[in-house]
Amino acid sequence: MKVYTRTGDDGTTGLLFGGRVPKDAQGPSAYGVTDEAVAALGVARAETEVGQEIFELLVRLQRELFVVGAELATAPENRHKLTDGVTRVTAGMVEALEPLIDAATERFDPPTEFVLPGENRVSAALDVARTVVRRAERECVTAGAEGWLESDSFVIAYLNRLADLCWTLARWQEGTFRAARHRD
């Protein structure tokens, strides 16, 4: 199988469950930024070690973003073909992020001023991921307004919580770094 198909040379892209749209249509724009978020989380994961709690969580979040991307890569007329939790974001996926945010928040003292990203490589990568997730969220708001997302979609809520989680994970990771550095 070849990586290139030449089918996109005309400026269109294929969708999940069929159909083609311009590459700059709102759906592809939204899932393109979601793909960037997957990659940004991958940079953060690359700075951790296999088996670490944060490593396993980042793998999970990357996989969940594939669900977001699948929903966004499906034309509205094919939404009935989506499967909850596999190709469609569910309320449960959104709700499952909240205890993760709460648990991470318990691991650091809250900042008392604006955070300057870059305390260490993991927290900096998580802050980049957070900004990309926020951009994906904004793209999805536009996609929803243009009818690309169903009115009852949980994509925007999921991305909103995920950005919050990225922020708390970054603070946790820089807090851990500070504690280790100050012990020396």
Nearest to 162 by CA among 133, 142, 128, 184: 133
**CA Rg, the chain, in Å?**
18
- Enumerate the H helices of the chain as residue ranges: 26-46, 53-72, 91-105, 121-145, 155-183
> In terms of DSSP bridges, do strands 12-14 and 20-22 run parallel, antiparallel, or are they unpaired?
antiparallel
Token couple for 79: 């939404």
Digit-by-digit pLDDT tens for the chain (184 residues) are: 888 888 899 999 999 999 999 999 999 999 999 999 999 999 999 999 999 999 999 999 999 999 999 999 999 999 999 999 999 999 999 999 999 999 999 998 888 888 889 999 999 999 999 999 999 999 999 999 999 999 999 999 999 999 999 999 999 999 754 454 444 4
Ordered by start, the domain boundaries in the chain are 19-183
19-183: which CATH topology? Hypothetical Protein Ta1238; Chain: A; (1.20.1200)
Structure pTM? 0.92
